[in-house]
């Protein structure tokens, strides 16, 4: 048996290549991303406590574990995001092929319409994440770069003082929350936790979570752009 065929038959390879294996990976990576969003939101809301609280929090993130913490978090997050996106794209392509074969079945058509929306909102979120990292982490704008180095609070206030930037964030966060309200429910479904009895509670929970994330995140650009917060 060649080394390649041995790898092709290994348990992780077979798990990844099976549809249920990929769904479980999408669900587990989804849990990590959902958790990250909640943590990121709580940290960002410190902006309402003032410059000192927000800058202290940003400083803690940059210096935890002697500066390695932020890199560990970035590597875990990037790996999680890549697995989530690749598995989702492969599942969507497989669904499309199945739909072409079974296009007369109404159930299949409904499932595909919903997953099609997920792939579009997911792609927009990906574009948003790239923009967001260039905006506040890499700080491609010289003004933000200068401010962010010493004062992340001033950087966020200045960043959201640009109406177009704020509007883009609001649209992207809204799409993110539409993705979440469907995605969180799907996690329960994939992990076998959704039943006839729990379906309503799970749907309400996913919508409530998505709404809380939406309200929390958009409150920041709205407060700055509309109410002049922090200026």
Binding site for ligand HEM (CB under 6 A): 37, 40, 44, 58, 61-62, 74, 77, 125, 129, 132-133, 136-137, 152, 156, 169, 173, 176, 217, 220-221
User: Taking the complex as a whole, how short is the minimal distance between the CB of residue 138 and ligand HEM, in angstroms?
Assistant: 8
CB neighbour burial string for 213-225, b if at least 16 within 10 angstroms, e if fewer: bbebbbbbbbbbb
- Please answer whether residues 159 and 135 qualify as being in contact, where contact means their C-beta atoms are separated by less than 8 angstroms: yes
Q: Report, in Å, the least distance between residue 25 CB and ligand HEM.
A: 19
Instruction: Kindly tell me which of 42 and 93 has the beta carbon lying closer to ligand HEM.
Output: 42
What lies within 8 Å, CB to CB, of 68 at 6+ separation is none
Q: Which of 91/224 has CB closer to ligand HEM? A: 224
Residue with tokens 């004062």: 151
CA atoms within 13 A on the CB side of 26: 28
Nearest distance, CB of residue 184 and ligand HEM, angstroms = 14
Decide whether 19 or 123 has the Cβ nearer to ligand HEM: 123
| Half-sphere exposure at residue 122, Cβ-oriented, CA atoms within 13 angstroms | 20
Under a CB-based contact definition with an 8 Å cutoff, are residues 205 and 189 in contact?
Answer: no
Rounded to the nearest whole angstrom, what is the least distance from the CB of residue 31 to ligand HEM in the complex? 15
Residue placing its CB nearer to ligand HEM in the complex, 199 or 211: 211
């Amino acid at each position: 048996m060649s080394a390649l065929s041995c790898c092709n038959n290994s348990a992780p390879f077979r798990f990844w290549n099976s549809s249920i294996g990929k769904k479980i990976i999408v669900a587990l990576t989804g849990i990590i991303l959902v958790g990250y969003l909640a943590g990121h939101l709580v940290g960002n809301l410190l902006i309402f406590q003032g410059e000192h609280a927000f800058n202290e929090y940003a400083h803690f993130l940059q210096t935890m574990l002697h500066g390695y913490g932020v890199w560990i978090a970035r590597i875990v997050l990037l790996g999680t995001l890549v697995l989530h996106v690749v598995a989702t794209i492969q599942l969507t392509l497989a669904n499309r092929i199945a739909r072409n074969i079974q296009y007369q079945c109404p159930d299949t058509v409904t499932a595909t319409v919903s997953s099609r929306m997920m792939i579009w909102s997911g792609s927009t979120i990906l574009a948003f994440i790239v923009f967001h990292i260039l905006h506040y982490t890499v700080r491609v704008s010289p003004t933000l770069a200068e401010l962010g180095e010493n004062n992340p609070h001033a950087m966020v206030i200045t960043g959201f003082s640009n109406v177009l930037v704020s509007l883009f964030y609001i649209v992207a966060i809204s799409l993110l929350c539409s993705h979440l309200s469907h995605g969180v429910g799907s996690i329960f479904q994939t992990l076998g936790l959704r039943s006839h009895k729990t379906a309503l509670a799970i749907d309400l929970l996913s919508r409530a979570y998505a709404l809380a994330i939406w309200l929390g995140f958009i409150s920041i650009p709205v407060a700055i752009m509309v109410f002049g917060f922090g200026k």
